[in-house]
């Protein structure tokens, strides 16, 4: 159950319209942010708490993933290209603020920004807490309100590995015929959507759904590699795997999800809502996917007395939290 919490500004949640199926301070800082490596003090001294790698190679890796030149990154971060080169090769020590400025321009997730800071010899700056932690009560309450506001249409919140964290009550009827084993925590949205014992039998255009999942997770892994997510991709989304479609999706802007419900076809598109200025890793990795009817006939399905709104799961409001 979701506890009541203090209000949170709606502006702190960012919504990006991505149909799918399924900073740090800036300011002027050029030469003054470059510090040359100095030899250790004579006679020794206290060891630094964090070891500095030879350069910050992860910055270079991130830049290559984004297909940016050093000049491109330098212009975006308002520093010189020479500065970027010195940081990447270890010929100068960037300040923590400079590391975070470069990370911001490279869209590095908060979890990985901590790794960049460690590589540069600084303490991690971002912490991770469970979504039900008291410190995140205001944010959790905001997620709850967003989910409820989407009713009678389904919406759910999930983490970076696509494990469902919360749902609104419109999602619950879809779980009725799902294999109970798939509903054991953590409940994974990708597995739930593609497994024959999950939602797959309801999805008319399953190949499109699979292709969109593949497209989104491929982009996600390119930005933030993750062993568990890679394993999930290899299990369910590899083009050469069993039941996998070789179709690729160039854009997931207009691809609807088509469900077969009660003998009717219901067409849905979705939007993604995220926190715009998170300071906790948890909130940086939470996304809310909201599904909307793509045509009048589909909208009517959710509003009719014999539609999903009348199912038992909709009779009493409850936002479900999944551990």
CATH code for the domain in which residue 112 is found: 1.10.260.40
Q: What percent of the chain is helix, strand and coil (3-state, nearest 5)? A: 40, 15, 45
Q: Is the pLDDT of residue 39 over 90?
A: no
Domain shared by 231 and 293, yes or no: yes
**pLDDT for 264:** 93
DSSP 11: G
Cβ atoms of residues 22 and 270 within 8 Å? yes
Top pLDDT among 66 and 17 is at: 66
Cβ atoms of residues 83 and 33 within 8 Å? yes
Domain shared by 43 and 100, yes or no: yes
Residue environment code for 37-48, b if the CB has 16+ CB neighbours within 10 A, otherwise e: eeeeeeeeeeee
Domain shared by 57 and 141, yes or no: no
H/E element holding 142?
helix 137-149
**pLDDT for 305:** 67
**pLDDT for 254:** 58
**pLDDT for 148:** 97
Average pLDDT of the residues in 216-233: 93
CATH code for the domain in which residue 205 is found: 3.30.450.180
Select from 119, 148, 181 the last residue of a domain. Answer: 119
The mean of the pLDDT values for the chain is 80
Domain shared by 151 and 273, yes or no: yes
pLDDT classification of 93: cutoffs 50, 70, 90: confident
Select from 88, 119, 150 the last residue of a domain. Answer: 119
Domain shared by 149 and 109, yes or no: no
Top pLDDT among 40 and 280 is at: 280
Helices (H) and strands (E) in the chain, counts: 11, 9
Render pLDDT for 160-197 as a digit per residue (tens, 0 to 9): 999 999 999 999 999 989 999 999 999 999 999 999 99
Q: Is the pLDDT of residue 25 over 50?
A: no
Percent of the chain whose pLDDT exceeds 90: 63
Domain shared by 139 and 47, yes or no: no
- pTM (2 d.p.): 0.75
Domain shared by 86 and 145, yes or no: no
The encoded tokens of residue 271 equal: 């939007």
Residues in the chain: 323
The CA-atom distances, in angstroms, between 179 and each of 29, 97, 160, 182, 187 are 56, 49, 24, 6, 12
pLDDT classification of 255: cutoffs 50, 70, 90: confident
Domain shared by 150 and 261, yes or no: yes
Average pLDDT of the residues in 32-47: 43
pLDDT classification of 34: cutoffs 50, 70, 90: very low
Q: Which domain holds residue 110?
A: 23-119
- Count of domains forming the chain: 2
Classify burial at 171, counting beta carbons within 10 Å of its beta carbon; exposed 0-12, middle 13-18, buried 19 or more.
buried
**pLDDT for 21:** 41
**pLDDT for 71:** 96
Q: State the Cα–Cα distance between residues 59 and 80, nearest whole angstrom.
A: 15
Render pLDDT for 121-135 as a digit per residue (tens, 0 to 9): 999 999 999 999 999
Q: State the Cα–Cα distance between residues 119 and 125, nearest whole angstrom.
A: 13
Residue 15 lies in a domain: no
- Any idea which residue has 């008319």 for tokens? 204
- Any idea which residue has 């294999």 for tokens? 179
Domain shared by 109 and 168, yes or no: no
Strand intervals (E) in 197-263: 257-261
Residue 175 lies in a domain: yes
SS3 105: helix
Residue 125 lies in a domain: no
Average pLDDT of the residues in 77-100: 92
Spatial CB neighbours of 35, under 8 Å, sequence gap ≥ 6 = 92, 93, 94, 95
């Amino acid at each position: 159950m979701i506890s009541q919490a203090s209000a949170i500004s709606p502006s702190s949640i960012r919504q990006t319209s991505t149909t799918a199926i399924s900073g740090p301070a800036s300011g002027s800082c050029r030469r003054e942010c470059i510090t040359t490596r100095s030899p250790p003090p004579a006679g020794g001294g206290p060891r630094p708490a964090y070891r500095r790698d030879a350069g910050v190679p992860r910055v270079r890796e991130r830049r290559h993933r984004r297909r940016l030149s050093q000049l491109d990154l330098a212009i975006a971060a308002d520093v010189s290209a020479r500065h970027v080169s010195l940081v990447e090769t270890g010929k100068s020590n960037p300040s923590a603020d400079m590391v975070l400025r470069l990370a911001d321009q490279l869209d590095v997730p908060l979890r990985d920004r901590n790794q960049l800071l460690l590589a540069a010899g600084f303490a991690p700056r971002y912490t991770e807490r469970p979504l039900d932690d008291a410190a995140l009560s205001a944010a959790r309450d905001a997620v709850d309100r967003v989910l409820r506001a989407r009713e009678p249409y389904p919406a759910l919140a999930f983490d970076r590995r696509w494990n469902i964290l919360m749902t609104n009550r419109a999602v619950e009827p879809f779980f009725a015929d799902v294999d109970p084993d798939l509903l054991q925590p953590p409940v994974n949205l990708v597995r739930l959507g593609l497994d024959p014992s999950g939602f797959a039998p309801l999805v008319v255009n399953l190949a499109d759904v699979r292709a969109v999942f593949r497209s989104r997770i491929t982009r996600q892994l390119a930005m933030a590699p993750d062993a568990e997510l890679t394993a999930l991709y290899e299990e369910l989304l590899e083009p050469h795997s069993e039941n996998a479609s070789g179709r690729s999706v160039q854009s997931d802007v207009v691809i609807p999800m088509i469900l077969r419900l009660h003998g009717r076809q219901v067409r849905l598109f979705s939007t993604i809502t995220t926190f715009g200025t998170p300071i906790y890793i948890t909130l940086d990795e939470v996304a809310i996917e909201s599904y909307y009817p793509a045509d009048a006939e589909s909208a009517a399905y959710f509003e009719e007395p014999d539609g999903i709104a009348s199912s038992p799961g909709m009779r009493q409001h409850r936002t479900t939290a999944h551990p």
